[in-house]
Amino acid sequence: EVQLVESGGALVQPGGSLRLSCAASGFIFDSYWMSWVRQAPGKGLEWVANIRRPGSEEYYVDSVKGRFTISRDNAKSSLFLQMNSLRAEDTAVYYCARGGTVTYFDYWGQGTLVTVSS
Amino acid sequence: DIQMTQSPSSLSASVGDRVTITCRASRSISSYLNWYQQKPGKAPKLLIYAASSLQSGVPSRFGGSGSETDFTLTISSLQAEDFATYYCQQSHSTPGTFGQGTKLEIK
């Protein structure tokens, strides 16, 4: 059974940093693109970033470029999102999802809440 | 970036109704169009991929069609468990933009 379990969400002050993790199981992790998708409270879905299977290509939505870094550890079947210089508008539930560019998101984690507030 | 526009934004319907939701892309995306269902407090669930392919385990009352810029999601006979928010998403190019969502409510 495919499982994606996010962790690391927290309350953080504007300008602060946070690292999200996603533990994957039930599939061959290094065979898939992986992505982060977020959803602000009461709003729609927004794709944030994705990373190619071997981890050599990364893509970001413009609003997080230069602040967020996606990475993966294929040996540990884990996906990460390092978030720096956080802003109030980054407040959202962050979902880890299997899939990326040119593919669909067929499995999602349960999400982890990031709140940026003073 | 490719913009995705869904209509309507909200919809009231009854159990047993046939419902159609549309999604329009700002430029051609071939058949790189996916549909998701999301219930309150839950992660999205993939329903349809590549415009018309039904994801494994999804009931056959869900159907998708379209290509290039215009797409539809059809629910042939609404069931109680179908009341949720539906999103389209293009996977033709990065960023993989989503539509704004269509909230399907009970009439």
pLDDT, averaged per 10 consecutive residues of chain B (107 residues), comes to 96 96 97 97 97 97 98 96 96 93 94
Distance CA B79, CA A103 (A): 29
Average pLDDT score over residue span A102-106: 90
- For position B21, what pLDDT does the model report? 98
Of all residues in chain A, the percent with pLDDT exceeding 70 is 99
Under a CB-based contact definition with an 8 Å cutoff, are residues A109 and A95 in contact?
yes
Site from A104, A108, A110 to mutate, B interface, most B CB atoms within 10 angstroms: A104
E-strand stretches of B9-101: 10-13, 19-25, 33-38, 45-49, 53-54, 62-67, 70-75, 85-90
Q: Which chain A residues are Cβ-neighbours of B46 within 8 angstroms?
A: 104-106
Question: Does B50 contact A44 at a Cβ distance shorter than 8 Å?
Answer: no
E-strand stretches of chain A: 3-7, 11-12, 18-25, 34-39, 45-51, 58-60, 68-73, 78-83, 92-98, 107-108, 112-116
Question: Does B96 contact A111 at a Cβ distance shorter than 8 Å?
Answer: no
Burial of B46 (0-12, 13-18, 19+ CB in 10 A): buried
CA nearest neighbour of A47 among A32, A58, A31: A58
Site from A4, A45, A113 to mutate, B interface, most B CB atoms within 10 angstroms: A45
Average pLDDT score over residue span A65-92: 97
Give the rounded distance of the alpha carbon of A100 from its chain centre. Answer: 12
pLDDT digits (tens, 9 = 90+) for A4-63: 999 999 999 999 999 999 999 999 999 999 999 999 999 999 999 999 877 678 999 999
Q: Is the pLDDT of residue A95 over 80?
A: yes
Residues in chain A whose beta carbon is closer than 8 A to a beta carbon of chain B?
35, 37, 44-47, 50, 59, 61-62, 95, 99-106, 108-111
Q: Which residues pair with A73 in a beta bridge?
A: A78
Question: Does B91 contact A46 at a Cβ distance shorter than 8 Å?
Answer: no
Search chain B and give the residue with CA nearest A109: B43
Name the token pair of A110.
């349960």
Kindly report the average pLDDT of chain B as a whole number.
96
The identity of residue B7, as a single letter, is S
Distance CA B88, CA A110 (A): 20
Q: Is the pLDDT of residue A92 over 70?
A: yes
Q: In what order do the strands lie in the sheet with A3-7?
A: A3-7, A18-25, A78-83, A68-73
Tell me which residue in B38, B91, B101 faces A104 most closely, judged by beta carbons. Answer: B91
- For position A54, what pLDDT does the model report? 73
